[in-house]
Amino acid sequence: MTQVHFTLETEDIQSLIDQSVKDIASKQILQTVFNQLMDE
Distance CA(37)–CA(34), nearest Å, equals 5
CA 28, 34, 39, 40 dihedral sign is positive
Domain map (residue ranges) of the chain: 10-39
Tens digits of per-residue pLDDT, 1-40? Answer: 888 877 878 888 889 888 999 999 999 999 999 889 888 7
How high is the pLDDT of residue 39? 84
**Strand, helix or coil at 3?**
coil
Contact present, 34 and 13 (Cβ < 8 Å): yes
- What are the φ and ψ backbone dihedral angles of 4, each rounded to 5 degrees? -120, 130
